Every structure is written in structure tokens, then in C-alpha cells.
Structure 1
Amino acid sequence: MGREERLPLLRQIEEERQAAVICYFTGDRENLGTRVAPDVIRVFYRHLLALGPRPRIDIFLYTRGGDVLTPWRLVNLLREFTPRLGVLVPFRAASAGTLLCLGADEIVMGRLGELGPIDPSVANAFNPEDPGNPAARLPVSVEDVMAYLALAREVAGLEGEGSIAAAFNRLVDRVHPLALGNVHRNYALIRLLARKLLQMHLPPEEDDRVQEIIQNLTEKLNAHNHMISRREAVQDIKLQVVEPSERLEDLMWRLYLDYEDDLKIREPFNPALMLGPNEYSLAFNAAAGIVESVPCLDAFVFEGTITRENQPREGVPPVNVTFTYQGWRQLL
């Protein structure tokens, strides 16, 4: 399908929810994916200006994650246009997507809907070198560092200041102190962002619940790729999750499948297969992310050329890919 077929689905979801809907779909196609990033803020602003202030706005969301600061800026922008914000989750809304959900008055999760932990991994020039590629740096998980120190105290039984200091010094021998400082800043940042997003719609008397949600989404989940189901989100995480009606669930899933098909999510981007047997060069244009509402459509586009090697060398790919453009493009 395409936009002409999607518009009736969008309008039916809006009617069912009595809310304006903006779809934010970051594709996770193999070799050609997109993530939540600051450049989407101006794209959203264009859609919001076209929609105008509304009593209710819903974000139809699919993402594997991305920049953790973007949800804070995005939720603040959305709340300039509406007092009531919802997020529709037909499938995945992980990491930064879960942070975005924390800023919503309600999260509408389908049966297949899943959220994720909000424990980021950080990378900077002081991180450890990647043994397989000395030019690259290994990301350091914020919660892994905290778990190491907890291991020293709780499992190894280290209690005295000297013992804890010795364990910390062993860590410093492996990880640059400035990298660890960055870990601590992000440890504090993710909790601050989560708290501020939740406090946008939860009253002060629910502060204990806010703290419990933050703990549940950080140190109490032991794997960054843990998939939080709808049942777990309600019973264990204590989030404001609602189940869609059968009709809304069907509409949400059909819309998801259309985006999945349009962005070829389940088909790896394989430049070698795109060239015909007698072709040596090919220009390509591929969408890898979408922001769509009834009045507007934007796509994150990759453009470039694929060229075949005349004399393939051992260890060198038989084709070269040169990107000439990547970014959001206004389509309507």
C-alpha cells in the first residue's frame, strides 16, 4: 500500500481515538536503519503547525531506540499543542521510544506491543578500544558499571572502603576515568529525564510510583534487550497502559504492516543484489523512516550510487556504495 491506502486507516484511528494522530516510524531494516534523533523535532513541528492545537494528540510509534534527549524535547513540543498526549504502540517502542511513552498520559499497547529498559550505553573518545577495530570505541553500558560495583558489594561481600576502592581501581585500570565520569552523568541523566517526563502527567502524591517506575525500567531489568510485554508494563512496571478495542487493535496492526512493507523492514538492504548482471552502476533512493499525519508526510531518505568492482579483490566487497544524501525530506 501507500499513502492513499494509509489515509483511511489514519482517519479511522483518529475517529476511534477522538485524537489527531502523528505516525513516527523509525525503520530497522538491516543495513539501512534509522533511530530516534534530534533532527526529527523540526519535522514534528511542521506537522503540528499543520494540525494546529488539539484537545488530544496521539503518536503512533515504532522504534528500536536512539538519542535519549530527543524524547524530552519532543514531548515538550507536543504539549505546546495539546493538553492530552497518547502513544499508540502496535509493536516495538524500545529504549528512547519507552522514554517517549513515559511522557504520555496513556500508552495504548496492542497484544504484540513491547517496551524496553531505558538503560543507555555511552560512547566517547575515552571509551575502551574495540579489539577487532582499534579505530573504534566500545560502548559502555551505564547499568553494567553500576552492576559491577553492586557485584563487589553484594556478591563478593566487599564492605570496607579500602575493598570497594580496590574494586573501583580495577575498573579504572580497564576503563578511562573520563569514560566512567560520562557513565555517571548518563546514569543521573536518564533518571532525571524519566522523572521529569512522568511528572508531566502524574500528580506529586504519586512520587513513590514515579520512583518505582524508574527503578523498574533501569536497574531492575537485567538486560538492555529485555522486551516488556503489555502485561508486564501494567503489573510490574506500573505504567499507565490501556488495551485498545478489537477494532482499534486491528487498525493499528494494519497500519504497522503497511509501514513495514513500504520501508521493506523484513528485506535486508543488499546492494549487490540490486545490480543487474550487466549493470556496473545504479542510482538508488530508499526511505528508512516516516513521519506522517493527515495533512503532511516526511520520509528519512538515503540516496546514492552502487558501483560494481571491475576487478574484485579478496576481502573487498564486489560492490561499492556511495551515499550522496541522507536526511528528512518533505514529501507532502
Structure 2
Amino acid sequence: MVEKKRDDVLQETPVSLAEKEIDGICMAFRESRNRPLLIMYYPEDRGSVSDDDVEALYSEFRRLGYNRDTKRIKELDVLIHASGGTPHTGYMMAQVLRRFASSVNFLVPYRAGGAGTLTCLCADSISMGAYAYLSPVEVLTEQDGALVSVDYFTDFAIQCWLKAEAALNREKVETKSSVETDLLTEFVKSVGPAGVANFYRQRTVAAKYAYRLLFDYMFASDPHREEKASQVSQKLMFSYPARDFHMDYHICMVLGLKAGEMSEDNSDMTRRIVKTMDKYTQAGVICKLTLKDRRAPFMTLYGET
């Protein structure tokens, strides 16, 4: 009987150790900044933002007794580590955050890409760790199992046409090149007209989401908020390279976002939190696979002391 109890203790040890270590470093960081802290951690492997997370986020605030009508958080830190997910989900996550917090500061230890970038646009400020980055909000379409950006293929076709025309001009050939039309025709055949139309529809929706968040929150007190929200949202959707383009705080500032660097101590502490999450995810203790073949995020609110 004694041996069985020892076995039970051994089986529970990984979970209890994970809870103790994660809670310890998160609460220490919360206390150092003297405000509630929300952790939104998504693993690298199959950890994209999902529609299910919107309800989970809302429930996390309600779990600690917060109420959007009578008990809101005055100032909230959100530590986010995420990439991937739909613009719809990123937008709804942002709106849930702002329902429960009057002021929100996003902390990005390493990365916040895709839907994570869109969610960050509801912030009053974005604080980025050492070598941390956001990414452009890019909408992709599928072709033969690979992700292909319609815009970049269009640019490729135009560049091919320009080079072909330049070569013909050098040779003083009067025939006009049709390479651009030929390439785009083949692309539309491959993806399908409906696929191309869906891409442009989703990108327009994503741009409207970005504008709404910037207008309502990040630039809310700016007398030129309409102009700034429009410029930044358009650049995010149309002027920057693909999603794997790393927008560090220098680029974010040039873009017009209210972004800056964390202190070295805060950067170290937030990166330690993420590395701890990585360790226990790899050990299979947290962020386990769901029935939808994705890893559940670690989403926990450390409220007021």
C-alpha cells in the first residue's frame, strides 16, 4: 500500500512541478510590474490561434471575477507568444481583451505573428524583448498543398514581363511580350477563380479589422487617429513582405505602431517564461494535442494581488 502511494506521487510530480515553476515565475513577474498579467502562449508545433480560444479567453477573465460592466482591470499586461491563425480570431481575441481592461500593454518576448500581430493592434503600447518581432498580417491561399501568396506571384509575373520587354527592346524586336498574362492565366487555372476572389475578400476583411482596432484603441486619443489607423492598416496588408518578414521594434516604430523595447530585465524575465513553457510543452505536460490535432495554448490570467 505504501509503495502504491509512492507511485501516485511520482505520477503527479511532472504536473505539480510544472504548475509550481510556471506560477512562480509568472507571479514574480506580475508583482515586479504591480499589475495583472495574462499569459497567451502558443507552441511552435501546431499552436496556431483558434476560434475556440476566444471563449477560453473570455472564461479566464470571468474565472477571476472580472466583469466588463462592473469590475474591469485598470491596466493589464499581456505576454503573447503566437503565430498563425485567422484574422477573424485575432480580431475577436483583441475585442475580448479590451472588454475587460481599460489599458493594455502587450509584451512580446520573441514573436507575435499572423493573428497574434492583429491582436496586438488593440494595445495602448507594445513592448518588445531583445530580438523580438511582429509580422505583417498576410492572407494566403492554397495551391497543390503549398501556401502561395497571390500578390507576390502577381509581382513576380510583372517583373518577368518587364525583363522580357527590356530584352525585346534591346534586340529592337517589335513583338510585345505576353509572359505576364500567360503566367497569371496559369496561376488562376491552378488556384481557381474562386480561390483568387476569396483571397482578396479575406484580405479586405483583415484590413478592416486592423483599422478598427487601431482606430478604437491604439490611436484612440490621437487627433489624427483616422488617418493613422488607415495608413498603418494599409501598410500592414499591402506594403510589407510575406508573413516571415520580421518586424522588430525599429520597423514597428517606422510603420507607426506604438512600440518600444522592454528593459533588459523585463526581456530576460519574459523570455524565461516562454522557455519554461517550451520545456513543459516538449515534455508533454502542458499544451497537449486536442481532438482537432492542434496544441491547446497556455492561457492563464494572474490577477490582482
If the length of structure 1 is used for normalisation, what is the TM-score?
A: 0.68
Structure 2 gaps, min length 5:
1-16, 67-71, 166-177, 284-293
Separation of aligned partners in 2, 1:187 and 1:153: 26
Residue pair 2:157, 2:179 contacting (<8 A) in 1 also: no
| Shift of residue 288, structure 1, vs aligned partner | 5.3
2:149 aligns with 141
TM-superposed CA distance for 1:213, in Å, is 2.1
The AA in structure 1 aligned to 2:155 is A
Distance 1:150 1:194, change over 3 A: farther
Q: Is 1:101 aligned to residue 117 of structure 2?
A: no
| 1:20 counterpart = 2:30 | no
Query: Sequence identity, in percent?
Result: 22
Which residue of structure 1 aligns with residue 130 of structure 2? 111
Post-superposition offset of 1:90: 0.3
> Residue deviations 1:49-107, cap 9 Å, x none?
12312102222111122122111111111111111112110001111111111111111
Show structure 1 runs of 5+ residues with no match. Answer: 131-136, 266-285, 296-332
Q: Secondary structure at the match of 1:198?
A: helix
| 2: CA distance, partners of 1:261 / 1:49 | 29
Alignment match, 1:60: 79
TM, length-normalised to structure 2: 0.74
Give the whole-Å Cα distance in 2 for the aligned partners of 1:98 and 1:77. Answer: 15
State the 1:154 CA deviation: 7.3
| 1:286-332 deviation line (CA, Å, top 9, x unaligned) | 9653112237xxxxxxxxxxxxxxxxxxxxxxxxxxxxxxxxxxxxx
- Which has more helix, going by share of residues? 2
User: How many equivalent pairs are there?
Assistant: 258
Which residue does 1:83 correspond to in 2?
Answer: 102
Report whether the alignment pairs 1:49 with 2:62. yes
Greater strand share, structure number? 1
Give the structure, 1 or 2, with the largest relative contact order (CA under 8 Å, sep 6 or more). 2
C-alpha RMSD over aligned residues: 3.0
Please tell me whether the aligned partners of residues 139 and 199 of structure 2 are also in contact (alpha carbons under 8 angstroms). Answer: no
Q: Could you say what secondary structure the match of 1:223 adopts?
A: coil
- Once residues 93 and 118 of structure 1 are traced to their aligned partners in structure 2, the CA distance between those partners, rounded to angstroms, is 11
| In structure 2, distance between residues paired with 1:35 and 1:148 | 29
Secondary structure of the residue aligned to 1:293 is strand
Q: 1:156 to 1:97 in 2, by over 3 A?
A: farther
**Alpha carbons of structure 1 residues 110 and 57: separation in structure 2 relative to 1, 3 Å:** same
Q: Where does residue 248 of structure 2 map in the other structure?
A: 229
How many Å apart are 1:110 and its aligned residue? 0.6
Q: What CA distance in whole angstroms lies between the structure 2 residues aligned with 1:78 and 1:144? A: 33
Pair 183,12 (structure 1): closer, same or farther in 2 beyond 3 Å = same
1:192-242, Cα deviation, whole Å (9 max, x unpaired): 1111111122146133332332243233322321111122222x3221113
Aligned to 2:281: 263
**Matched AA of 1:74:** M
- Mapped to 2, the partners of 1:240 and 1:258 lie a distance apart of 28
